[in-house]
Amino acid sequence: MIDWRQIDTVLLDMDGTLLDLHFDNYFWLRYLPERYADKHKISFEESAAALKERYRHQTGRLNWYCLAFWSKELDLDILGLKKDISHLITYRPKAEAFLKQLKQGGKRRILLTNAHPDSLQLKLKNTSLHQHLDTLYSSHEFYLPKEDSQFWPRFMQKEPLNLETTLLIDDSKAVLDNARDYGFKHLLTIQQPDSQQAPKELGAEYQSLLCFSDIMPTLDQNT
């Protein structure tokens, strides 16, 4: 699937790529609606419907990923609530081993996530993910989400990647589409971002992987 001799840098998403998306899905679709229902003395169904509508208005915007925005919008301590269920933060299968193997192969490992910096720090604390990376960025540093057409020009001023030798792995089609349009040559998506849900039905537009063992580089592939 990947000719590792052509790759010197791997640009990795976090939620749904390196980490199991179950934590985020459970938080936004179950735990937060429960707490919002408790606060407003309404049913879970009413709460979930109200939040779904609010989410819809922020989809594709940086606010969707911003804990400060949602804390103010909902008058709830979003980071504190995330900490309540932080035991659900886990790696996707073989992700940690994959990062270690990339290091052994001399590949640069960059995390690029839309997660808010506070959410990022919570996940680093619970996984020690930063120990397996060469550098990491939140899109909040650039004031745009990764799916925005102006994101990559802004990011590349900070991190001038070679589009011919960088592999981008992300579970979001919108992010992959934007990267493809910008000129990235090597793109992969994730079949099962959430371990508690069935693998996604994916078209042939992008190569996909179920487990990082599918693309684990060996030392002889790096030379």
- Per-residue pLDDT tens, the chain, 223 aa: give them: 789 999 999 999 999 999 999 999 999 999 999 999 999 999 999 999 999 999 999 988 999 999 999 999 999 999 999 999 999 999 999 999 999 999 999 999 999 999 999 999 999 999 999 999 999 999 999 999 999 999 999 999 999 999 999 999 999 999 999 999 999 999 999 999 999 999 987 777 899 999 999 998 874 454 4
The model carries a pTM of: 0.93
Q: Which H helix or E strand runs over 10?
A: strand 9-12
Segments making up each domain of the chain, as ranges: 4-20+91-221, 23-87
pLDDT (0 to 100) of residue 203? 72
Which H/E stretch holds residue 11? Answer: strand 9-12
Which CATH code fits 4-20+91-221? 3.40.50.1000
Quote the DSSP letter at residue 200: P
From 167, 12, 2, 175, select the one nearest 92 (Cα to Cα). 12
Strands (E), 88-218: 108-113, 135-138, 166-169, 186-190, 207-209
DSSP 118-135: HHHHHHHHHH-GGGG-SE
Q: What pLDDT score was predicted for residue 205?
A: 86
